[in-house]
Amino acid sequence: MAKQWSDGLTAGAGLPLTWVLAMPLLLSGISALSLVTHLLQAHPSGNGEGLLWLALLALGWAIAQGLWLNRELLRCLRRVDGRSRDLAAGHLTTGLPSDSPVVEFNRLAHSFNQMAERVQASLGRLQANLSDAEHWLAQYSQLSPSMNYTYVEVTEGDASERQTWYEYLSAAVTEIGEISVEAGLRDANAVRGLIHPDDAAGYLAAEMACEQTLSTFSHQCRIVTPSGRVKWIHNQSQPLRRDDGTIAWHGVVVDISSYKQAEAALQESETRFRQLAEAVKEGFFVYETETAQYSYVNSAYWKIRGLTPDMTTNSEAEWLASIHPEDRDRVEAALVHERQGKHFDQEYRYTTPNGELRWLRSRAFPLCDDLGTVVRVVGTVEDITDRKLTEVALRQSEARFRNAFDNAPYGISLVAATGQFVLANAYYCALLGYSEAELLTITFKDITHPDDWADDWVGFQRMMGGKTATYQIEKRYITKQGEVIPVIINAAPIYDDGGKPLYSVGHVQDIRDRLAIDRMKDEFISVVSHELRTPITAIQGALALLGVGMYESRPEKARRMLEIAINNSDRLVRLVDDILSFERLESGQVQLEKELCQVAHLLYQAIDSVQPLADQSGITIALTPLTATLWAAPDSVIQVLTNLLSNAIKFSCPNGTVWVKASTERLDAADSNLSVLFTVQDYGRGIPPEKLEVIFDQFQQVDVSDSRQRGGTGLGLAICKRIVQQHRGQIWVESEVGRGSTFSVALPLVQGDSHD
């Protein structure tokens, strides 16, 4: 049932048109009648012709006036008609003229013009609004292609007996509901019945509320289409009360399912993000540069900063103020860069409100608007205290290791499974004569003696293959200079994360000295055992002969045997004394007791002790003494001088002379210290040049018969050398075979000690 529009216009004041039209005729009739009556009274007998003419005249005038009025009226009506059409078509340009001699026409024209103006004005407004609405619709429909759905719904009655029908439904509305337009117009329930049962009550309540106040209805709810699909719609409509009391709703319906989906997805992703942000142990923050406030921080953030969420003191300034002064400038400079769009990544020390010092690492990513201005900063903050402490500890232990590695008194090398050098310490490099850089370009095969390589490689591979835990080998290296060096290597693997041997670290000991000492010891033992055996055999033999009473009848022979035994036991005593004294000196057991002693006194004592020996051979000892004081162990110096003198006597020709001299000398031009130089010179058999050095080693003699014939042990000069060394002095010999020898001992004389 459509509502009928009444035109609502009321009749204006004034004469009705019928009156206007009838008036002149009535007047003319009246005047013609009165004229005829007058004439008939004045001229009862005739003269009726004149009266007739007069009546005709009045009639003619009346007709003419009626025609004029008719024409005028029609003209006016046509004008109104024409202008009304123009107005209806929207082309009204000029108003009705108000120049009619009839005042009503002029009033009509005036009223029409006023109305036309108003109509035109409101039409203009309507058009403007319409074009606005169209523009808005067009815009919106660009955003949402499902937008342009309109309906006009009319509701009648109160809540209990509401009736609803649709006057207009765009095809799109029914498309959303998946029903036909006809069905929708025929049965309002075909549309309203689509509302999801759970949402229907809410929809109705909201609608009723708007209806009462005639306010805009804006509602979102779900519908279920006949095919069973659930859709989200947005209904935006305006209720209007019509004159007949019904409420007309004009509105649009939009399918917002995809928005709802997107919204749900967004919400889900935000929930996920929050869950994630709360789960991570790194602090997470979102900082708004415009408001200079943190718009989001996760719980780890509070913990790392040592703050609690109820604290209101979470500002950037407070953060900066809590940074260690030594780190603050650097962080602030990075912050300036960040605000210009650069990434921020800083490690710094930070003090929590309760005074705990922590190492933090902050990383932040500025987000810019279209103009490139940083509007937001998203970042993380991490507590790296443990890592930093570990780093420090690691650095220290690395430094300690490096120090131990570099300064180790043995070689350390690290080689890969291929034998390639990876690392070598200073000792190792020095031993091999290569620089570390040179070593890193070769393998250990290149420096291994070819004869030792096969065994070496087998052992190395067994260890690197995991068959043995360590590996040891005594082998020979060949240095860069070609020298062969015997070494002992102890190697162990360094494993990778999977427990597989990755490198081999080897400790290398140069065993040249050890081998030399071993050799010397072997020689020493064989010599000593031989030297000891000789006198013992002689003593044993002599005593055995005496024991069996072989020489009981020959006392001369028996005495000779006893002499041999005594001489050999003397020799044995000397030998044992020398060995013990040498061993004591060699092992550093004896610490020489130094004191101030007179050089001359030392010389006299030494000469006294060898005088009987000299006398035996008729040797003269010539002395050039010196008055000086030495800081020395006197007994040891006397032992040296005695030994040199007894050798000189032993190896001199009979009745010769041995010269003994002491003087102060400057041994070296560069040395500012003076030395006391003792020289013992003989004119005996001399020493061949190749023996000049070795006679200072133990058991070294120029001639194997020297010990037997001259009663020596071969230890004398070795003992002298040790004693002189312990005085930080020097001993040497100059000699010419057949012409004699000169032994020199120089002992340092500290300035001020000299008393000459």
From candidates 263, 518, 703, 736, binder to ligand ADP by CB under 6 A: 703
Size of the site for ligand ADP (CB under 6 A): 23
8-state DSSP, 11: P
In the set 360, 561, 599, 687, which binds ligand ADP (CB under 6 A)? 687
- Residue of the chain from 425, 651, 662, 674 that contacts ligand ADP (CB under 6 A): 651
Tell me the closest approach of the beta carbon of residue 736 to ligand ADP, in angstroms.
Answer: 11
What is the distance between the alpha carbons of residues 751 and 346, in angstroms, rounded to a whole number?
66
The piece of 211-219, 304-312, 488-496, 701-709 that touches ligand ADP (CB under 6 A) is 701-709
Alpha helices per DSSP H over 465-592 = 512-547, 555-586
| Cβ distance to ligand ADP smaller for residue 301 or 651 | 651
Q: How far is the CB of 471 from ligand ADP (least distance, A)?
A: 45
Query: Of the candidates 418, 388, 414, which has an alpha carbon nearest to the alpha carbon of residue 401?
Result: 414
* Closest listed residue to residue 658, CA positions, set 628, 672, 679, 675: 679
Which C-beta is closer to ligand ADP: that of 155 or that of 681? 681
Report if residue 684 touches ligand ADP, rule: CB under 6 A. yes
> Which of 449-477 are b and which e, b meaning 16 or more Cβ less than 10 Å from the residue's Cβ?
eeebeeebeebbeebbeeebeebebebbb
CA–CA distance, 98 with 601 (Å, rounded to integer): 169
Give alpha helix (H) positions in 144-179: 171-177
* Binding of residue 695 to ligand ADP (CB under 6 A): yes
Neighbour count for residue 686 (Cβ, 10 Å): 19
Query: Measured from the CB of residue 639, what is the shortest distance to ligand ADP in angstroms?
Result: 11
| Residue nearer to ligand ADP on the CB measure, 597 or 718 | 718
Q: Which stretch binds ligand ADP (CB under 6 A): 104-112, 227-235, 359-367, 644-652?
A: 644-652
Cβ neighbours of residue 625 closer than 8 Å, sequence gap 6 or more: 599, 600, 603, 604, 662
Phi, psi of 521 (to 5 degrees): -60, -45
Under rule CB under 6 A, residue 702 binds ligand ADP: yes
Contacts of 744 (CB under 8 A, 6+ apart): 677, 678, 679, 730, 731, 732, 733, 734
**Does 713 engage in binding with ligand ADP (CB under 6 A)?**
yes
Q: Would you say 61 or 659 has its CB closer to ligand ADP?
A: 659
Q: List the beta bridge partners of residue 675.
A: 665, 748
Instruction: Return the number of the residue (647 or 679) whose C-beta is nearest ligand ADP.
Output: 647
Handedness of CA 496, 497, 499, 505 (dihedral sign): positive
What three-state secondary structure class fits 532?
A: helix
Residue window 333-352: x/- pattern of binding to ligand ADP, with contact defined by CB under 6 A = --------------------
Bridge partner residues of 349 (DSSP): 359
Q: Which segment (398-406, 532-540, 563-571, 706-714) binds ligand ADP by CB under 6 A?
A: 706-714
**What is the contact mask toward ligand ADP in residues 591 to 630, using x (rule: CB under 6 A)?**
----------------------------------------
Kindly indicate which of the ranges 117-125, 456-464, 663-671, 712-720 contains the residues binding ligand ADP, using the contact rule CB under 6 A. 712-720
Q: Residue 412 or 607: which CB sits closer to ligand ADP?
A: 607
In the region spanning residues 717 to 756, those forming contacts with ligand ADP, defined by CB under 6 A, are: 717-718, 741
Residue environment code for 655-679, b if the CB has 16+ CB neighbours within 10 A, otherwise e = ebebbbbbeeeeeeeeeeebbbbbb
Residues that bind ligand ADP (CB under 6 A): 643, 647-648, 651, 682, 684-685, 687, 695, 700-703, 706-707, 712-718, 741
